[in-house]
Amino acid sequence: MTDLTSLSLAEARQGLKAKAFTALELTDAHIFAVEKARALNAFVLETAEEARMMAQAADLRIARGEGGPLAGIPLGIKDLFATKGVRTTACSRILENFVPPYESTVTARLWHDGAVMLGKLNNDEFAMGSSNETSAFGPVVNPWRREGSDAKLVPGGSSGGSAAAVAAHLCLGATGTDTGGSIRQPAAFTGIVGMKPTYGRCSRWGIVAFASSLDQAGPFARTVRDTAILLRSMAGHDAKDTTSVDRPVPDYEAAVGQSIKGMKIGIPKEYRIDGMPAEIERLWRQGGEWLKAAGAELVEVSLPHTKYALPAYYIVAPAEASSNLARYDGVRYGARVPGRDIIEMYENTRARGFGPEVRRRIMIGTYVLSAGYYDAYYLRAQKVRTLIKRDFEECFARGVNAILTPATPSAAFGIGEKGGADPIEMYLNDIFTVTVNMAGLPGLAVPAGKDGQGLPLGLQLIGRPFDEEGLFSLGEVIEQAAGRFTPAQWW
Amino acid sequence: MNAPVQPSMLIKGATGDWEVVIGLEIHAQVTSKSKLFSGASTEFGGDPNAHVSLVDAAMPGMLPVINEECVAQAVRTGLGLKAQINLRSVFDRKNYFYPDLPQGYQISQYKSPIVGEGTVVVDLPDQDSFTVGIERLHLEQDAGKLLHDQHPTMTFVDLNRSGVALMEIVSKPDMRSADQARAYVTKLRTILRYLGTCDGDMEKGSLRADVNVSVRRPGAPFGTRCEIKNVNSIRFMGQAIDYEARRQIGILEDGGVIEQETRQFDAVKGETRAMRSKEEAHDYRYFPDPDLLPLELTQAYVDALKAHLPELPDEKKARFIRDFALKSEDAGVLVSERESADFYEAVLGQLADKARDGKLAANWVINELFGRLNKEGGAIATSPVSATQLAAIVDLIGDGTISGKIAKDLFEIVWTEGGDPRAVVETRGMKQVTDLGAIEKVVDDIIAANPDKAEQAKAKPAMVGWFIGQVMKSSGGKANPQTVNDLLKTKLGL
């Protein structure tokens, strides 16, 4: 870590404005860090040349006094976001050589505001995974290690590359996508901040789809303020995505540091699950105490349908995925493995192109949508979804401003340690996060402490629809109390 | 659904009479500039893949955005079919793999279509009109096209049509003969053309039919149906129904059972062939498209579209009968195509006295103009005689300037040489002679020259016809026939 890579995004912004250093210098420092950190496997594509050009352009804009809100800020982009002229694979072999002729709306907004792209970040294949182990580019290594151990740990997933890159100070922030926890869980595993905004807050246009009704883009950064700064640039209505919402984007940064006095924080009893480590239980209580000390009121709340969320999620998400991934058929773009006829070409292409977890979810999704099973699975899961949503609505209707929960049921685990025999072991990682996607609500993961082995743990704040501001205010309180978390550099 | 059995429509089998039951699913391409969910052009005949957007090619991360004009067109069509407009409808995905389907699913409407039940009244010559119930109308995407003849070992894909909006119009099983089915499609196409929501051009594939056919003993419950896919002409549809009905009757009379299956019509051999059976049928795994919110319309929006709906053939026909005393059959001919009705209305608009001559004008449009166009294989759009010219001819007859017979000569001149009919009549001296003195002289001359015939006529009044012919001949057809008739009767003492 150099002086320049140790800065927060807000500090770097200040330094650029004050001409303490140039965007090119800032970018070069990060390019160097990226190159040094290849052992983490966080980047699947480094775009150093483009980054330098973008940085120089930012310097010119800054010199003319036209620098945007993110002028010269080097970022990493999850490989699920289409980037024009830059290979975009969703970390799948089926898109191994795919170069989109278009730019996703979210990344276009970032570049419009002056940000610099360092490269594309590793993720679970098509964002399906909770450990970044399903990537065709191989697993990402968490920059954190257990004390006294050099065992490689997962960074969480699916946005594992984004979380690892930000935690290891390879970039000042990164984009992620969150379908069931893919931003919040890796943020918690790597000791950084991650925000999944309200469904419809960010455009999905140009983001490789996993489960359309759940997918939402969001930012990673090392501080709550930095996360707020990034979200302001990413969010906004997009006529090309009819599920995006046409309402003004607030100045999220202004919410950071706002008083939380009088806010009512719900503590849901259903999140106290069997077998939850005592240190997570303790951290959760601690988080509540911090908020209370800052003037918030804690109330116990009930979200009775919580226990059905995970099974319902693993019906809805694969169902949508099975349909969304049908376009990868070898006909128009991406990999093609020939066959004797069209059916065999499809089979060969998709069997070779998709990894085991993606194939599993396509099979599950195809099954639950099949005639005769649709009502029992998909329709029922949608009803559960309505009930989960109602749980939250009733809670908010009683005056609760936000809900505090643990972000994950454990700290980061070892690569290869989970899900080998039973995929459900892996799916359980999302137990605290999927409800938020099912209800379309905003969720913020904030680092709050460490476990007994020195690994970071995070808390989750769940907000009312479009009240990302409230979450940033609350998150800042936790960050102030808990401090920031930086892994010792071993790579 | 169970209208009284009409004996004339029954098919005679070896073991007795059979009734054929027909229901149609019509795929009508929506008239719109761009596709249902993308901005790409819908223009016909572009180079392969010239009209393909990123959405149509199903590139990763692309999202559909509904084209409002296509929605308006579907609502207009629903209103034209006197159907229920559903203020809330849902787009679903119909999942299957095929190279002409880039997304791997077709966006369609499954459980909640934009239009519900309606009716179409159909006329058949020499028969009572009958009503076909509309089950539903929904919007969906068209697929692309496979080109098998471009390369010895490969098939090419043209996605120009991919994503173009279609309306699937599903009828109830209300038709009982190939004639009825043909008449229904013809009527439906007329309505769509009046509305301007589909050009109805079957050669370009703008209108295709899936035909459901079953047979049963008169009065028995419905039999098992077979679906004949993608019939692209009204004539073929009739052939396909007749063949399929005979085929099914043959199987049943031999003691067999009908398998529910999808068939295709071979126009060359004039027969239907099995494509796939029910067991092989796709499981389309329909589910609501999560990329699209439910489509919600307001009643005010529907009302506004309704207020601007053009007059439809049934209403137009009724008006022609009411205002101009046209025969039902003639009015039917005029409204059967929007172009015909428009032409007739253009003639009406230029008549000096349309209350007096509206019916005359209809006769001239139908008998002289359409007759001539049919004979020469011409279209109304390129008719050598314009509505203005025809109106002038009718005016000249109506005000007594020329006789009907002269008018035919005048029509011939205008057809071949053009020109203003009034000027032609002036310059060529075609005006009818109504001058009593002049006609009287001719009448007197002819009676004087034929005393024997004048004598015979007193005994046999029908002989007057011979005299009229002579007078007209000698006046060059310009004498007013009524005047001639009256004079002759007086002079001959009849």
- What CA–CA distance (Å, rounded) separates A221 from A8? 8
- Of all residues in chain A, the percent with pLDDT exceeding 90 is 95
Asked if the Cβ–Cβ distance from B103 to A378 is below 8 Å, we say: no
**pLDDT value at B482 more than 80:** no
Nearest to A329 among B60, B66, B97 (CB): B97
Asked if the Cβ–Cβ distance from A342 to B58 is below 8 Å, we say: no
**pLDDT value at B278 more than 80:** no
The answer to whether B138 touches B108, Cβ cutoff 8 Å, is yes
Nearest to B103 among A98, A104, A326 (CB): A326
Packing angle, helices B436-449 and B481-492, rounded to 10: 50
Nearest to B60 among A82, A211, A326 (CB): A82
At A83-127, the pLDDT tens digits run: 999 999 999 999 999 999 999 999 999 999 999 999 999 999 999
Query: Which CATH number is B436-492's, of 3.40.190.10, 1.10.10.10, 1.10.3810.10, 1.10.10.410?
Result: 1.10.10.410
In B217-320, DSSP assigns E strands to: 226-231, 261-266, 271-277, 287-288, 295-296
- What CA–CA distance (Å, rounded) separates A290 from B150? 72
Instruction: Please name the residue of chain B whose CA is at the shortest distance from the CA of residue A102.
Output: B54
Question: Touching check for A484 and chain B: CB below 8 Å?
Answer: no
- What CA–CA distance (Å, rounded) separates B38 from B34? 7
Tokens 């991934």 found at:
A325
Look at B38-47, B82-91, B162-171 and tell me which has the smallest mean pLDDT. Answer: B38-47
- What are the chain A neighbours of B286 within 8 Å (beta carbons)? 369, 374
Determine the average pLDDT of the residues in A21-45: 98
**pLDDT value at A5 more than 70:** yes
Instruction: Please name the residue of chain A whose CA is at the shortest distance from the CA of residue B58.
Output: A327
Asked if the Cβ–Cβ distance from A205 to B285 is below 8 Å, we say: no
Question: Touching check for A366 and chain B: CB below 8 Å?
Answer: yes
Instruction: Please name the residue of chain A whose CA is at the shortest distance from the CA of residue B37.
Output: A240
Closest CA to A457 of A409, A490, A419, A404: A409
Which chain B residues have any C-beta within 8 angstroms of a chain A C-beta? 54, 57-66, 93, 95, 97, 99, 102-105, 157, 283, 285-287, 290-293
Residues 272-331 in A contacting B (C-alpha not used; CB under 8 Å)? 319-320, 322-323, 325-327, 329, 331
Residues of A annotated catalytic, as ranges: 78, 158, 182
Closest CA to B286 of A420, A323, A172: A323
- What are the chain B neighbours of A81 within 8 Å (beta carbons)? 61
Task: Compute the nearest-CA separation of B56 from chain A (Å).
Answer: 11
At B285-342, the pLDDT tens digits run: 999 999 999 999 999 999 999 999 999 999 999 999 999 999 999 999 999 988 999 9
Strands A173-178 and A74-78: parallel
Distance set, CA B238 to CA B44, B122, B228, B339, B457 (Å)? 27, 16, 12, 25, 57
Q: How many residues does chain B have?
A: 494
Residue A109, C-beta contacts closer than 8 angstroms, at least 6 positions apart: A233, A234, A236
Contact pairs from chain A to chain B, CB under 8 Å = 95
At A370-393, the pLDDT tens digits run: 999 999 999 999 999 999 999 999
Q: How confident is the model at residue B280 (pLDDT cuts 50, 70, 90)?
A: low
Q: What is the mean pLDDT of chain B?
A: 92
- What CA–CA distance (Å, rounded) separates B440 from B483? 9
Determine the average pLDDT of the residues in A282-297: 98
Task: Compute the nearest-CA separation of B216 from chain A (Å).
Answer: 30
Q: What are phi and psi of B228, to 5 degrees?
A: -95, 120
Instruction: Please name the residue of chain A whose CA is at the shortest distance from the CA of residue B100.
Output: A331
At A134-159, the pLDDT tens digits run: 999 999 999 999 999 999 999 999 99
**pLDDT value at B432 more than 90:** no
Q: What pLDDT, on a 0 to 100 scale, did the predictor assign at position B451?
A: 85
At A411-453, the pLDDT tens digits run: 999 999 998 778 888 888 899 999 999 999 999 999 999 999 9
Look at A66-80, A139-153, B164-178, B446-460 and tell me which has the smallest mean pLDDT. Answer: B446-460
Q: What is the mean pLDDT of chain A?
A: 97
**pLDDT value at B471 more than 50:** yes
**pLDDT value at B174 more than 90:** yes
Asked if the Cβ–Cβ distance from B95 to A371 is below 8 Å, we say: no
At A155-210, the pLDDT tens digits run: 999 999 999 999 999 999 999 999 999 999 999 999 999 999 999 999 999 999 99
pTM of the model: 0.91
Question: Touching check for A205 and chain B: CB below 8 Å?
Answer: yes
Q: What pLDDT, on a 0 to 100 scale, did the predictor assign at position A197?
A: 98
Domain ranges across chain B: 17-305, 311-427, 436-492
- What CA–CA distance (Å, rounded) separates A331 from B155? 11
At B8-30, the pLDDT tens digits run: 889 999 999 999 999 999 999 99
**pLDDT value at A288 more than 80:** yes
Q: What are phi and psi of B15, to 5 degrees?
A: -110, 10
- What are the chain A neighbours of B95 within 8 Å (beta carbons)? 322-323, 326, 369
Q: What angle do CA A81, A84, A88 make, to 5 degrees?
A: 45
Q: What pLDDT, on a 0 to 100 scale, did the predictor assign at position B1?
A: 45
Residues 63-82 in A contacting B (C-alpha not used; CB under 8 Å)? 81-82
Asked if the Cβ–Cβ distance from A204 to B58 is below 8 Å, we say: no
**pLDDT value at A336 more than 90:** yes
- Of all residues in chain B, the percent with pLDDT exceeding 70 is 97
**Pairwise pLDDT comparison (B275 vs A22), residue with the higher score:** A22
Q: What pLDDT, on a 0 to 100 scale, did the predictor assign at position A400?
A: 98
Q: What pLDDT, on a 0 to 100 scale, did the predictor assign at position B279?
A: 59
- What are the chain B neighbours of A342 within 8 Å (beta carbons)? 99
Determine the average pLDDT of the residues in B455-463: 82
